[in-house]
Structure 1
Amino acid sequence: MWSPRGIKYVAGFVLLLMMVPGAFLVSSALNRQDEHATAADDAPAVGCTRLVERLVSALGAFTRQFDGLSGMDARQVPPMPSMRQLRTEAGSFAEALDQGDCRASQARRAVVAWRDDAEASGPLAEAVRTALAANVLDVVSGTTRPVLHRLAKGQDLAAALSRLPSGATLVLPPGTFALDRPVAVVQDLTVRGAGPGRTTITSTAPGAAVLLASQVSLRIAGVGLRHRGGGTASVIVLRAGRATLDRVRITGATREGSAGAGSRAMLTGGSGIVLAGGQRIALSRSTLSDNAVGGLLVATGVPTVRAATFHDNTACGVCFLGRSAGRLTRNVMTRNGSGLLLGDRSAPVLADNRILRNKQAGLVIEGTAHPVLRRNVITDNGNIGVAVYSSGSPVIVANTITGHRQAGVLLDVTRRATPRVEDNVLRDNGSAGLVFMGSSRGAASGNTCSGARFGLVLDGSAAPVLRRNDCALQDQRVQRPPS
């Protein structure tokens, strides 16, 4: 159902662009000019002016739907414009200008004036306004190739990003570039730098430096992004669409107050990258460090993370919440609060990663999370290598888990949980290699334990299925007296 505010603008020209053919709309606009035309010599000019005014008025009406919206909070955001459809409709508008013997320059001047003079409240309204203008101007100007723009010395980065048409590439030279306000992206964009150590974007923007707010694609390569200052802010937030990040360095996200591990409050800020509403992120050969919550926080979608490093993030290198999934391979998580936190119903696959020297634990799994851990090296992470709580049901297979003060793998889960611990090497883990506590069930098979005080410990009322483990068994369960 449309809100009353949405209904008000459904009749707006640009919103209708998303639903009906542009030729029909433009021809109707031209036909209606006959009602106002006179025999005066300047009638064609009057008709052209009215056509352009109708376009600009409709652009403004559509944009006003987004006034006051940041995109960072949970408030409902109206449907975003489809830039592909907009460009098709803008082509029809350009044809109508030609047929009416109107000058495209008149339309361009009017759109630029509207873009520069219209008041926009909030980053989403600003983004929609400048993106609509950029794409209409691009088509009316007759551009046939994707725009390649090289940022000039002294040019405002936020303005340059927002005024690029869909499909454009912004090239950043070596140097440091400042953002003092969030940049909301609602069109396909590529940003290329000279390398994360040579091209740096520093942001003091509240909420986030970059917000992907529409079903579009954002690509960033060879750039460092760093938040500077206080408040609560992440660096990149994906509320929609897809992002591809290669050779980026993301650091400095801040948070006022605290958010408990696995809490929904973690989504409100403080992470390097937040995937919350977005569909997918592909992250490779990158570093995410020194963020107040997590390097990467995933609440939706399917991230693919390869050959990245997560270090010195306060809560976690990577946090999974919600029903997120994805795949992490050949990454390094080190010196974080925990290497990974996996909660809710998340189900990522973690393979061939190195998870070492994190402060609390290598991995913490809770909620009903059911990740798959294969062939990871998990070593020297505080008290526990892999800690499983609540109703977590991981599959932990063929990992090397060494050097923890208390236990290599500790499971304290409910009866309904179904964890599997198979074929792992558990070595030099303080008190025990593998511990089942509480009412844990599940299964353990083919594991090898050495160098700990105890090999495999059963405590509380735990009753897992045990097969072919090379681990000395320590049964500490309370024995009920015979009835």
Structure 2
Amino acid sequence: MDDSVDTIVRRCRIRHGKGDGIKIYGGLGIQIQKNDISHNGQVGISIEDGADPVVRENSIHDGNSCGISVLKGGKGTIEDNDIYCNAHPNVYVANSADPLIRGNQIHHSGSCGVTCVEEGLGTIEENDIYCNQSVGLYIMNRANPVVRNNTIRESEGDGISVCFAGRGLIDGNTIRANAGIGLLIESEAEPRVTKNQILESHSDGIKVSHNGKGYIESNTVIRAGHGAGAGSGICITMGSAPVVKNNLVKDCLQHGVLITDESAGIIERNTISGHQGNGIAILRRANPIVRGNVVRENKGAGVFVSQAGRGMVSDNRLSYNRGQSQLLVEPGCDATVRDNIVS
């Protein structure tokens, strides 16, 4: 479909084609509604070259490639569809495409639920993204979408992965019971992560790795690590340096917040409680600023510094932690400790 006006494709069965089920490029006024699009050799619906269709209430499934792809500046409103069992990502956004993806069921892909790459944009909101074979939502290669108010659950991999200089606003999502990490930030990625519920991740709740950055504020991270037998609420490793503020982190299998392997960052005004390990652990030459946190009722120390850990630990309130000490700095460490309240 090219340069079309007021084209409507409705209640059709489009299946077993050798190429794309529907290909839209450069058109306006196109509506794709209530169709069953399946078993095509390539993409179920392909949107390219500035096309701006409405794609609503379709069933798009069992394709040999992606369910929907939006490329090369494509736009579109993709709403209330059931997108499932496609071999590649159910939804794929790339090359500065900027669609609205809202209210869809996106599930049981042979790959990721949604992939946004190569400077892809878009608003991804109020979708139910579940039971995909890899990552629920994958953001990478300078992609910068808005990801808001989705449920991302029961992925075979991570809930959300942001990597290779990916960015984006990740706000108000429920990320639950994913088999990997709830939210992974790595390889110079720098998203803004706010007001999410990250629950029952089998591994770490949030992990920032390999020079990852980002602003992580006002999230709730609960019961990480119980599926895989290991996992902290927030793990910062391999030279990473995020800002972590005003989060609630509780009841995880290992530490509340772990900073390790020459990482840094600011850990400020968080409430950290009920963990099987330490509330905050600073290990292996990590050098963070840890200030103004409430750390209580952990089975280990409130703050534990070991293995040449460094950093500034100040103005924290430490209480009812059951380790050897509320605040323990082992020999060989060079942490500055001041103005903490221990009870």
| 1:161 corresponds to which of 45, 61, 76 | 45
1:156 to partner: Cα distance? 5.3
Whole-Å separation in 1 of the counterparts to 2:90 and 2:142: 16
Query: Aligned residue for 2:70?
Result: 185
The residue type paired with residue 45 of structure 2 is L
The residue type paired with residue 282 of structure 1 is V
Whole-Å separation in 2 of the counterparts to 1:211 and 1:410: 38
The residue type paired with residue 220 of structure 1 is I
**Identical aligned pairs, as a percentage?**
19
1:424 to partner: Cα distance? 0.5
The residue type paired with residue 469 of structure 1 is N
Bigger proportion of residues as helix: 1
1:405 to partner: Cα distance? 1.4
Whole-Å separation in 1 of the counterparts to 2:34 and 2:338: 66
Verify: 1:233 aligned to 2:111, yes or no. yes
Whether the aligned pair in 1 keeps the contact of 2:83 and 2:90 (CA below 8 Å) is: no
Q: 1:157 to 1:352 in 2, by over 3 A?
A: farther
Whether the aligned pair in 2 keeps the contact of 1:389 and 1:411 (CA below 8 Å) is: yes
Whole-Å separation in 2 of the counterparts to 1:427 and 1:371: 23
Query: Aligned residue for 1:68?
Result: none
| 2:88 corresponds to which of 207, 217, 221 | 207
1:221 to partner: Cα distance? 0.7
Query: Aligned residue for 2:101?
Result: 220
How many matched pairs?
315
1:459 to partner: Cα distance? 1.7
Whether the aligned pair in 2 keeps the contact of 1:151 and 1:157 (CA below 8 Å) is: no
Counting only pairs closer than 5 Å after superposition, residues 20-419 of structure 1 correspond to structure 2 as 130-131=23-24, 134-135=25-26, 138=27, 146-155=28-37, 161-162=45-46, 166-173=50-57, 176-181=59-64, 182=66, 183-186=68-71, 187-194=73-80, 199-203=81-85, 205-228=86-109, 233-240=111-118, 241-254=120-133, 270-299=134-163, 300-336=165-201, 337-359=203-225, 360-414=231-285, 417-419=286-288
Q: Deviations over 1:20-79 (max 9, x none)?
A: xxxxxxxxxxxxxxxxxxxxxxxxxxxxxxxxxxxxxxxxxxxxxxxxxxxxxxxxxxxx
Whether the aligned pair in 1 keeps the contact of 2:257 and 2:279 (CA below 8 Å) is: yes
1:157 to partner: Cα distance? 9.8
Q: Deviations over 1:298-320 (max 9, x none)?
A: 11221101110111111211101
1:164 to partner: Cα distance? 7.2
TM-score by length of 1: 0.61
The residue type paired with residue 221 of structure 1 is R
Q: 1:285 to 1:407 in 2, by over 3 A?
A: same
1:170 to partner: Cα distance? 2.4
Whether the aligned pair in 2 keeps the contact of 1:149 and 1:168 (CA below 8 Å) is: no
User: Partner of 2:283: helix, strand, or coil?
Assistant: strand
Structure 1, gaps ≥5 residues long: 1-85, 88-117, 121-125, 139-145, 255-269, 473-483
Q: 1:216 to 1:316 in 2, by over 3 A?
A: same
Whether the aligned pair in 2 keeps the contact of 1:248 and 1:286 (CA below 8 Å) is: yes
Query: Which structure: larger Rg?
Result: 1
Q: Deviations over 1:437-474 (max 9, x none)?
A: 110111100011111122101124112001101137xx
| 1:434 corresponds to which of 303, 311, 322 | 303
Query: Aligned residue for 1:259?
Result: none
Q: 1:157 to 1:192 in 2, by over 3 A?
A: farther
Whole-Å separation in 1 of the counterparts to 2:90 and 2:35: 20
Greater RCO structure (CA 8 Å; 6+ sep): 2
Q: 1:155 to 1:412 in 2, by over 3 A?
A: closer
> Bigger shift: 156-165 or 301-310?
156-165
Whole-Å separation in 2 of the counterparts to 1:405 and 1:160: 47
Q: Deviations over 1:270-325 (max 9, x none)?
A: 10111121420111111111112211101122110111011111121110111111
The residue type paired with residue 238 of structure 1 is C
CA RMSD of aligned residues (A): 2.6
TM-score by length of 2: 0.84
Whether the aligned pair in 1 keeps the contact of 2:78 and 2:99 (CA below 8 Å) is: no
Query: Aligned residue for 1:66?
Result: none
Bigger proportion of residues as strand: 2
